């Protein structure tokens, strides 16, 4: 994609992990704090974009063997299917529910079905954004 | 504050419209991007500005700023991103096929 | 849902499954699969005959759209039953015939039988619906499926032309009928036909009564190919012959007759109805038979003969409607004979015309031509077909011992009765009916004889035929043999038919006369030397002379040249319509994006701005505004400057960066205005967008200058400033006019309702999750779009062809 740039590559190796961690945090925090599926997904995909910017496409694809189009499709499928899931329990399409559990190590924890939905959203966003960027830059 | 932001929205809409009426395709795409900026600001303003705290529930009851426009804008931002990306690719593929970025030359044949 | 509902839906569902059967059993001729449906339906409907004959009716309704008074309501009475038996009975025979007619190797049978079954379901829907709107729905479905069937050989130009013509005319009539139905609904307040019939006396005075009557009749006339709408039927003969035998003789064209019969209790007794139905009918009868004689193509001859026969039945319905003028009395029961004759002839016509179409199909199939100038002497090769042709066409000509004789005699009785009428100024015009009817019958006799003797007798010329003729396979002969058997059977046992089918139908067409003495006449073949018999003998004698001296008669036809026909009028209207709309469209559809945007903005400014000004809702009230800080003003000024700068920059790179500046400033505002989620999203999105812009610029040339002339720039400036001003005014007025409280406080309970403290995300993931789901879908579609646009490229050559 571009000629080797040692400084950029070294920095991004570290930065990518920070961004990835931050992205996952944002995704999980979304229920009670700023964050959520969209932002998490966008942040995670920006980490991938950074990788593509600093290394060439082949290297990244070898390191992360993911088909982003399938990832996007999976995400959309998950979002739609969690909606269907609520139908099984006799409630309206896409109704979410939540409950509190006492888990070892975490103590009282809230688990919500919306996480599954948001996970679908996040995967969809990552898949689409990376697909767009790589398909355009693949044209160079 | 609201009045000032609304005036700013007006300026953004004017410039966006002017760009949309251009014959260069990139200007048109920029126009759509600008228009979505204007709409996001407008939506937020319509919900009222600075009327409470961040819409994240705390332990003490307090007033919160209107969360509904924010949810709408969040959706709108992502969609406008998708649309802009699509437009851009459409533009550069059109250029590759027809070798022009001038809308007046993209008019098409007369007898269609 | 009752059984009858399922019976209507069964063929439509079967139409969906027939193609699957073709995949599952590729060796099977699909007709064998399709034929089970009409046979099954026929046996179901036959099982209703005893109950209907004893006076029962079956009604049931399934609620569909209550608010629109739209119900899937069905009503099975004597009238509907005749039609359902015709549809399914003739349908079975036609499908059987088509199994031998349609080649499994060469034709796309899955399509053929799917369309045919779709049509069958639609037709059943028409005759069984009791709801005006549902009737209309099925009515148009028959037009659509008929279009598909006529255009079955869609590679032929004539097929497409014929299909388009029949579609335009019948759907045009259908729309007129819909308007009539809406008027009926306005008058009566109900969509149920039976309820409308029940309140017929109160409707007569309504000012919409006559317009509704005329509009509904236009629908019936177009469907039943009445003059001057008959022109589509000859062109529809481009359809495969089984289709012509089914749609254009026995069923679809009879839908118009059904409609007239169904609405006779509502409109009957009205002078307009009487004159339109009987007048148009009798003239169509004459014109159709007159035109049939000059045809050279056997199918065209049959098409015109169908038009003529439909006209005959139509005129009988018209004459019979006079019985509903005033009350039901023993005198006016005389007029009801016409309705009885109409129903009787309707059944008879289906038998002999169905058989004739099949016979012509056999000739076409085995000889390779339908041209009368080439045919002749086939009797030696196809004796069975010849016998069948004699039976069916003698029946059509009205000769004994065939069923056509009986109904033709009753037709003469009816027109002679009409002569005695003292209603609707029939004293002056009544004599026209017997005269026109008699002349039309002479022509009918003539073309019936031409059909048989020109084809099967006369000189045999092998050199003009494509194949050596031989008798058709037995499978193709079964259906016409059955129909010809019916023709003879009905002649000898007409009163059984009358008892089981015709009299219940009479009761439903003439509810006020129900079960009155003299309503159901006794049909007898011999009724002495009366005027009717003399008329028939006259028809036969004069007709025979006419056929013998036919070549002198052709001079008469030269008075009606092609270029002044109704057909050329239709073609002229079609091309004029196309030309006009092309001119009008090309005037404003310039192909310039800018012009289209001008139209949109123009309307927006005019309508929205005008409403805003005229309604006086502009209120500017900045008192409730939040306080302003200095740094906020600075950001606003920076943003305004960046925005205004964009059109003036020389480099697109600068423009994209300025757009980025705007985006990041908005992110700052999101922070200031307490929207952390938005700020985060905006930051990331803006970064990615800017990257996208820069990536794309790599592939694109530097942007060119815009036109600088004032003529171009001034309207652009005016429109954009207008749009900005309009937005500001609307936004300020909204700020000033708070009409109701915000609904957002509901979402502030998100912790209890959705277990989330972040209200925005609770709305996205929980309260309005449907929006979010669709948003992801949109995003995904855009992603697929981008990927496809980038990766799919047409090969060089193909691209050139596309542009031609």
Q: Which residues contact C584 (CB under 8 A, 6 or more apart)?
A: none
Q: Quick check: is C480 in a domain?
A: no
| Interchain pair B74, A38: CB under 8 A | yes
Q: Which residue segment(s) compose the domain that C785 sits in?
A: 758-790
In order of their start, the domains of chain B are: 2-51+64-98 (1.10.287)
- Give the per-residue pLDDT at A103: 66
Q: Which residues contact C727 (CB under 8 A, 6 or more apart)?
A: B9, B10, B13, B38, B42
| Interchain pair C765, A36: CB under 8 A | yes
Terminal-to-terminal C-alpha distance of chain A: 8
Instruction: Determine the residue among A46, A75, A79, A82 to mutate to test chain C binding: the one whose Cβ has the most chain C Cβ atoms within 10 Å.
Output: A79
- Give the per-residue pLDDT at C803: 43
- Give the per-residue pLDDT at C599: 92
Q: In a 3-state reduction of DSSP, which class is residue C418?
A: helix
Higher pLDDT, A133 or C306: C306
Residues C266 and C285: their CA atoms lie apart, in Å, by: 25
Residues C244 and C252: their CA atoms lie apart, in Å, by: 10
Q: Which of C465, C309, C451 is nearest to C374 (CA)?
A: C465
Of B54, B56, B85, the CB nearest to A132: B85
Q: Which two tokens stand for residue B26?
A: 């990139």
> Residue C499 gets which letter from DSSP?
I
What is the Rg, in whole angstroms, of the alpha carbon atoms belonging to chain A? 18
- Give the per-residue pLDDT at C705: 75
Q: Which residues does chain A have within 8 Å of residue B74's beta carbon, measured at their own beta carbons? A: 38
Q: Which two tokens stand for residue C531?
A: 């005027």
> Which ipTM did the prediction report?
0.92
Per-residue pLDDT for C804 more than 50?
A: no
Please report the DSSP string for C549-603 in residue order.
THHHHHHHHTTS-GGGSHHHHHHHHHHHHHHHHHHHHHHH--S-HHHHHHHHHHH
Q: What is the mean pLDDT of residues C48-56?
A: 88
Residues B50 and C672: their CA atoms lie apart, in Å, by: 8
Residues C403 and B66: their CA atoms lie apart, in Å, by: 82
Residues C311 and C290: their CA atoms lie apart, in Å, by: 12
- Give the per-residue pLDDT at C706: 73
Q: Which of C113, C164, C171, C114 is nearest to C137 (CA)?
A: C171
Residue C27, preceding peptide bond in cis (omega within 30° of 0): no
Q: Quick check: is C52 in a domain?
A: no
| Residue C76: φ, ψ to 5° | -105, 105
Residues C319 and C313: their CA atoms lie apart, in Å, by: 10
Q: Quick check: is C779 in a domain?
A: yes
Per-residue pLDDT for C794 more than 70?
A: no
Higher pLDDT, C103 or C82: C82
Q: Quick check: is C786 in a domain?
A: yes
Model confidence band, residue B111 (pLDDT cutoffs 50, 70, 90): very low
Per-residue pLDDT for C262 more than 60?
A: yes
Q: Which of A87, A112, A88, A114 is nearest to A101 (CA)?
A: A112
> How far apart are the CA of C674 and the nearest CA of chain B, in angstroms?
5
Q: Quick check: is C776 in a domain?
A: yes
Per-residue pLDDT for C63 more than 90?
A: no
Q: Which two tokens stand for residue C19?
A: 């193609």
Q: What is the mean pLDDT of residues C601-630?
A: 85
3-state secondary structure A56-116: CHHHHHHHCCCCHHHHHHHHHHHHHHHHHHHHHCCCCCCCCCEEEEEECCCEEEEEECHHH
Q: Which two tokens stand for residue C229?
A: 């709408």
Model confidence band, residue C168 (pLDDT cutoffs 50, 70, 90): very high
Percentage, residues of chain C above pLDDT 70: 96
- Give the per-residue pLDDT at C284: 92
Neighbours of C793 (CB within 10 A): 12
Of B54, B82, B89, the CB nearest to A136: B89
Residue of B nearest to A41 (CA): B78
- Give the per-residue pLDDT at C561: 62
Name the packing angle between helices C432-449 and C403-419 (round to 10°).
160
Plot region of B76 (φ>0 → left; ψ -120 to 50 → alpha; else → beta): alpha
| Interchain pair C799, B97: CB under 8 A | yes
Q: Quick check: is C763 in a domain?
A: yes
C750-765 pLDDT, tens digit each: 777 777 778 888 888 7
| Interchain pair A132, B78: CB under 8 A | no
- Give the per-residue pLDDT at C176: 94
Q: Does A93 touch chain C (CB under 8 A)?
A: yes
Q: Quick check: is C765 in a domain?
A: yes
> How far apart are the CA of C752 and the nearest CA of chain A, in angstroms?
10
Q: Which residues does chain B have within 8 Å of residue A139's beta carbon, measured at their own beta carbons? A: 92
Any chains having at least 3 CB pairs less than 8 A from chain C are A, B
Model confidence band, residue C802 (pLDDT cutoffs 50, 70, 90): very low
Percentage, residues of chain C above pLDDT 90: 26
Model confidence band, residue C562 (pLDDT cutoffs 50, 70, 90): low
Per-residue pLDDT for C468 more than 50?
A: yes
C418-442 pLDDT, tens digit each: 777 776 676 677 788 888 888 899 8
Higher pLDDT, C376 or C716: C716
For chain C, the domain total comes to 1
Residues C75 and C59: their CA atoms lie apart, in Å, by: 4
| Interchain pair C764, A36: CB under 8 A | yes
Q: Which residues does chain B have within 8 Å of residue A136's beta carbon, measured at their own beta carbons? A: 88-89, 92
| Interchain pair B21, C764: CB under 8 A | no
Q: Which two tokens stand for residue C779?
A: 């995003």
> Residue C521 gets which letter from DSSP?
P
Q: Quick check: is C680 in a domain?
A: no
């Amino acid at each position: 994609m571009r000629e080797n740039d040692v400084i950029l590559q070294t920095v991004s190796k570290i930065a990518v992990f920070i961004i990835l961690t931050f992205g996952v945090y944002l995704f999980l925090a979304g229920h009670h704090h700023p964050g959520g599926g969209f932002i998490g997904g966008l942040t995670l995909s920006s980490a991938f974009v950074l990788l593509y910017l600093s290394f060439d496409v082949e290297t990244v694809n070898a390191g992360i063997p993911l088909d982003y189009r399938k990832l996007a499709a999976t995400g959309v499928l998950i979002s739609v299917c969690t909606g269907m899931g609520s139908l099984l329990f006799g409630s309206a399409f896409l109704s979410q529910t939540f409950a509190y559990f006492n888990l070892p190590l975490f103590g009282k924890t809230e688990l919500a079905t919306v996480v599954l939905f948001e996970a679908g959203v996040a995967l969809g966003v990552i898949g689409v954004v990376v697909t767009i960027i790589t398909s355009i830059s693949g044209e160079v | 504050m609201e009045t000032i932001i609304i005036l700013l929205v007006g300026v953004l809409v004017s410039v966006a419209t002017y760009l949309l009426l251009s014959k260069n395709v990139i200007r048109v795409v920029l126009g759509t991007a600008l228009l979505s900026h204007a709409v996001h600001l407008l939506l937020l303003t319509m919900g009222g500005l600075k009327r409470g705290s961040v819409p994240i529930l705390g332990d003490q009851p307090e007033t919160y700023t209107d969360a509904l426009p924010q949810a709408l804008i969040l959706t709108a931002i992502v969609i406008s991103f998708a649309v802009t990306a699509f437009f851009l690719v459409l533009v550069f593929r059109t250029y590759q096929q027809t070798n022009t970025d001038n809308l007046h030359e993209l008019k098409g044949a007369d007898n269609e | 849902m009752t059984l009858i509902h399922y019976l209507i839906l069964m063929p439509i569902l079967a139409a969906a499954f027939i193609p699957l059967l073709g995949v599952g059993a590729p060796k099977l001729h699909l007709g064998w699969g399709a034929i089970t449906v009409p046979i099954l339906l026929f046996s179901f409907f036959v099982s209703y005959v005893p109950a209907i004959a004893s006076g029962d009716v079956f009604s049931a309704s399934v609620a569909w759209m209550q608010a629109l008074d739209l119900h899937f309501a069905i009503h099975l009475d004597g009238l509907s039953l005749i039609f359902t038996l015709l549809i399914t009975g003739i349908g079975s025979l036609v499908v059987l015939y088509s199994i031998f007619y349609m080649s499994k190797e060469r034709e796309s049978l899955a399509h053929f039988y799917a369309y045919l079954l779709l049509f069958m379901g639609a037709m059943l829907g028409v005759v069984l619906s009791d709801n005006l709107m549902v009737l209309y729905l099925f009515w148009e479905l028959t037009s659509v499926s008929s279009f598909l069937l006529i255009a079955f050989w869609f590679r032929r130009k004539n097929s497409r032309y014929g299909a388009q013509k029949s579609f335009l005319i019948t759907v045009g009539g259908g729309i007129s009928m819909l308007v009539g139905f809406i008027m009926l609904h306005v008058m009566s307040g109900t969509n149920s036909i039976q309820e409308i019939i029940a309140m017929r006396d109160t409707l007569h005075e309504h000012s919409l009564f006559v317009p509704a009557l005329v509009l509904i009749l236009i629908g019936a006339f177009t469907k039943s190919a009445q003059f001057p709408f008959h022109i589509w039927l000859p062109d529809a003969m481009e359809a495969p012959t089984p289709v012509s035998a089914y749609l254009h003789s026995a069923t679809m064209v009879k839908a118009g007759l059904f409609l007239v019969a169904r609405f006779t209790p509502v409109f009957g007794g009205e002078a307009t109805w009487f004159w339109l139905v009987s007048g148009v009918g009798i003239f169509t009868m004459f014109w159709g038979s007159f035109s049939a004689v000059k045809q050279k193509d056997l199918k065209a001859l049959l098409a015109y003969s169908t038009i003529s026969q439909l006209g005959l039945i139509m005129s009988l319905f018209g004459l019979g409607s006079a019985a509903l003028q005033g009350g039901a009395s023993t005198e006016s029961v005389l007029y009801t004979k016409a309705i009885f004759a109409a129903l009787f002839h309707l059944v008879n016509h289906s038998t002999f015309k169905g058989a004739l179409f099949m016979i012509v199909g056999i000739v076409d199939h085995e000889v390779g031509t339908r041209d009368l100038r080439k045919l002749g002497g086939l009797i030696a090769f196809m004796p069975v077909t010849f016998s069948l042709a004699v039976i069916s066409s003698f029946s059509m000509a009205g000769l004994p011992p065939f069923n056509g004789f009986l109904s033709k005699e009753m037709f003469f009785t009816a027109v002679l009765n009409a002569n005695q009428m003292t209603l609707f100024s029939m004293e002056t015009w009544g004599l026209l009916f017997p005269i026109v009817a008699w002349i039309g019958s002479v022509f009918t006799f003539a073309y019936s004889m031409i059909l048989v003797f020109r084809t099967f007798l006369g000189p045999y010329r092998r050199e003009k035929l494509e194949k050596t003729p031989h008798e058709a396979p037995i499978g193709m002969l079964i259906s016409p043999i059955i129909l010809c058997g019916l023709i003879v059977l009905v002649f000898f046992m007409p009163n059984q038919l009358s008892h089981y089918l015709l009299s219940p139908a009479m009761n439903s067409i003439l509810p006020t006369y129900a079960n009155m003495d003299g309503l159901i006449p006794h049909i007898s073949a011999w009724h002495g030397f009366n005027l009717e018999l003399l008329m028939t003998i006259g028809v036969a004698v004069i007709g025979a002379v006419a056929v013998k001296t036919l070549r002198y008669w052709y001079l008469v036809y030269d008075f009606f040249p092609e270029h002044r026909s109704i057909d050329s009028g239709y073609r002229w209207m079609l091309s004029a319509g196309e030309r006009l709309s092309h001119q009008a469209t090309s005037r404003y559809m310039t192909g310039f994006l800018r012009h289209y945007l001008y139209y949109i903005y123009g309307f927006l400014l005019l309508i929205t701005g005008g409403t805003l000004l005229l309604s006086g809702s502009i209120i500017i009230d900045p008192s409730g505004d939040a306080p302003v800080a200095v740094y906020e003003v600075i950001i606003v000024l920076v943003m305004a400057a960046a925005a205004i700068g964009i059109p003036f920059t020389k480099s697109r790179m600068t423009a994209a960066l300025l757009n980025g500046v705007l985006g990041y400033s908005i992110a700052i505002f999101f922070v200031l205005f307490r929207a952390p989620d938005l700020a985060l999203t905006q930051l990331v999105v803006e970064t990615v967008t800017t990257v996208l812009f820069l990536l794309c610029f790599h592939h694109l040339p530097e942007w060119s200058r815009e036109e600088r002339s004032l003529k171009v720039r001034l309207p652009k400036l005016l429109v954009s400033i207008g749009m900005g001003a309009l937005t500001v005014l609307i936004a300020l007025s909204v700020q000033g006019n708070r009409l109701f409280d915000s609904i957002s406080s509901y979402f502030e309970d998100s912790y209890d309702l959705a277990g989330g403290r972040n209200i925005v995300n609770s709305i996205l993931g929980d309260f309005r999750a449907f929006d979010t789901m669709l948003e992801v879908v949109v995003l995904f579609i855009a992603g697929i779009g981008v990927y496809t646009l980038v990766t799919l490229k047409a090969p060089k050559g193909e691209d050139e062809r596309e542009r031609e």
